[in-house]
Structure 1
């Protein structure tokens, strides 16, 4: 761990749920509140490409990124698929929050969940409000089955609109979700990315390359990153597909904010709009990102960071 008088820059291995897992902790304001990111995927660990877009946040928060069980540096071939359940990840998340609050002598944290991580985030906001100042959902998942149908229909419409016969043929061949396998889902996601329903500009691979820092990455990390994505998807996709937060989490007692890209059809923004209308919460609203798809925190990092900073004082007890 590298420390200066007012700086933390740490990459650490800790035990969560009896499993070795890795976290990064960065801050130029160690007296500030904790901001914990729950990455997407499942399996898209982000420690090695989070430093650049989150740099401004370090001046206001203790910024924590966590490679979840089976992902990135926390991938281990000895992890059993039977351990990879939403309940296990919820226990890991809760244990991590309790570890961080005790370590830094804080009562609560700000919690950010992106995509897959937004399932964990909303469920934790509902079950452990005593640990959370506010919850921020990015590309918020609501109803996975409905969202996949909306995403597929959007992709097919774009293929027809652009007279892309190859896309039309491939999409019609796999048909409407639920898909029979991950390869079929991958075909839909490939065309969705091409039609700019994942990111408004570029793609996830270019985003990772543009933001990765040599101090946070190695060849072994990259290998674990790739293996972790496949292992996590294979282990969690079926359970994830049955998520319907509209039914499972109709109310919370902490402020809730959804950061939504207006071009997000990976997890369609329309469902977040529906959810925020019926969700019972002391404070709730959608923050729109006009030039983003599914990754507004990477596509429009300044706007995202400014929003997080604006919550200071407002939601702290």
Structure 2
């Protein structure tokens, strides 16, 4: 979903003399590696592959205290590994144990087995993998339930898992919340057409018009074209792609130079999932959740708009629910303002867990 906007941002970040870039990269990576160290005797810092859905998949587990609540994050894209964002969530790890997973078709999981070794690339397969990851985390860390954090495309997976498996989920948190409506609402399509017209991008405008407003008829390539148009005409999101994602990828101490092309390849491999989601309807699937329900959205997000997320949220029935806007942020709001997201996590989400770790 975000592959083309990331590619567009890449040139802007890497257009500098190569030698100088590499020297500066080495210095920054060393500093970030130092800041990421977890040295306390109660801490945990594990990165490993485990068998999920018949495939070796990569998982990271980090936190200052194993006794803290466990947050399992489902990244966006599909194909947008959040392991590159580890330095931005460093303060979160002082309050929770944060589990990241490179889904099949993504990042280190993709590099391990190659594009031809990823198996079935469907939403249903990713959802089954997500449930298996949570089961694995519960057993490995000795917890009964986890806080499930869904980001953008990952929020579509997390939403379904929280609805269907409250036995696994202590609380749901969606950010850059994705809501499917069965292709009925053409507001996003019309908004992109309007922004393209105002920007004078005639070629892109003609292409989006030719696709039509119904995503159920789009190919994977057309999904990519639409999301590129949506992102490049959204100044907040495009700025976040450069300052948050691309810089994080380039300076990540967890990723070698050889892994950078894999980051981009992940979107191409994972795009096969998108056409199968076009007919999804979150309201038809149900708005009742048996777990605390939180949405944290960028007020200026034009990719997954706060209005669409709020409209769904208003219909949700849950034991506790809360909707938070992060002002002056678009997509990637939680990573644009990780301090504000942490405040929501600490003051709103974690108290609903009852003050304990929900031991198995």
Superposition TM-score, scaled by structure 1 size:
0.89
Aligned to 1:220: 258
Matching residue within 16, 37, 46 for 2:73: 37
Aligned to 1:292: 329
Structure 1 residue 221 displacement after superposition: 2.2
Pair 1:84-2:121 in alignment: yes
* Structure 1 unaligned spans of 5+: none
The two structures, once aligned, show a CA RMSD in angstroms of: 2.4
2:303 counterpart SS class:
coil
* Structure 2 unaligned spans of 5+: 1-36
Structure 1 residue 237 displacement after superposition: 0.9
Give 1:140-179 correspondences, 5 Å limit.
140-143=177-180, 145-146=182-183, 149-162=186-199, 165=202, 167-178=204-215
Structure 1 residue 260 displacement after superposition: 1.2
- Distance, in Å, in 2 between the alignment partners of 1:232 and 1:163 is 31
- Distance, in Å, in 2 between the alignment partners of 1:221 and 1:272 is 34
Aligned to 1:302: 339
- Distance, in Å, in 2 between the alignment partners of 1:91 and 1:161 is 42
Matching residue within 48, 55, 66 for 2:101: 66
Q: 36-45 vs 223-232, which deviates more?
A: 223-232
Structure 1 residue 39 displacement after superposition: 0.3
Structure 1 residue 183 displacement after superposition: 3.8
Matching residue within 82, 105, 113 for 1:46: 82
- Distance, in Å, in 2 between the alignment partners of 1:186 and 1:315 is 38
**Distance change (3 Å), C-alpha of 1:165 and 1:91:** closer
Deviation string 1:243-276 (CA, Å, 9 cap, x unpaired) is 2111113211001111111222212222211111
Aligned to 2:64: 28
Give 1:211-290 correspondences, 5 Å limit.
211-212=248-249, 213-234=251-272, 236-290=273-327
Structure 1 residue 4 displacement after superposition: 4.1
Superposition TM-score, scaled by structure 2 size:
0.79
Structure 1 residue 305 displacement after superposition: 1.5
Contact 1:147 1:271 (C-alpha < 8 Å) held by counterparts: no
- Distance, in Å, in 1 between the alignment partners of 2:245 and 2:314 is 33
Structure 1 residue 78 displacement after superposition: 3.3
Matching residue within 176, 179, 188 for 2:226: 188
Aligned to 1:55: 90
Deviation string 1:51-87 (CA, Å, 9 cap, x unpaired) is 1211111001111110011111111323355x22222
1:219 counterpart SS class:
coil
Contact 2:107 2:262 (C-alpha < 8 Å) held by counterparts: yes
